[in-house]
Amino acid sequence: MKTRIPVAVAACLLSLSTLTAQELKDTTWSSYGVSFRAPSDITVEDDSEEGYIVSNDTYYITVQLLDGEGFKRNELGDELKNIANDDQVSDQSAVQSFETPQFYGAQIEGNCEGEACLYSYLLSKDDSCGFYVSILYKQKGDTVPETILKSFKLED
């Protein structure tokens, strides 16, 4: 009987982790032809030229055009740090630079009024556009926000 209890506990934990795993699907901000992977149960709150906001119980994702900012690739980190400081993001990580097939990016993680958050700037490699991305989420250490961020692409 003692060997069944750990097996039963492991089975319950496995089923709970399966239930909390997020299935991702493509969502598109049609005003600017940018898409990314987001949880399948996401609800679109705003799809206008001013921004694209989607959310569910766990994630709140905001995307805005970097219109007229004129950022250069080497300025992304400093500018992102300034935004995070202006928004009073606490427990900030170091700024991390990254690349996707279509974007140069910078990201910073921290705490935004009690919720974990990830801020990012994305500049297209063809210099056609740039975006500010903010993802608020419930669980610090959650890897889904980074998966979402790295999935951004421009539609053909």
Which of the two residues, 2 and 58, has the higher pLDDT score? 58
pLDDT grade for 121, boundaries at 50, 70 and 90: very high
Domain residue ranges in the chain: 22-154
**In a 10 Å sphere around its CB, with 0-12 CB exposed, 13-18 middle and 19+ buried, how is residue 43 labelled?**
exposed
CATH number for the domain running over 22-154:
3.40.1000.10
Q: Using an 8 Å Cβ cutoff, are 132 and 64 in contact?
A: yes
Where is average pLDDT lowest: 35-39, 57-61, 63-67, 120-124?
63-67
**pTM listed for this prediction:** 0.83
Single-letter residue type at 79: E
Dihedral over Cα of 54, 36, 143, 11: its sign? positive
Tell me the DSSP string of 11-37.
Answer: HHHHHHHHHHPPPEEEEEETTTTEEEE
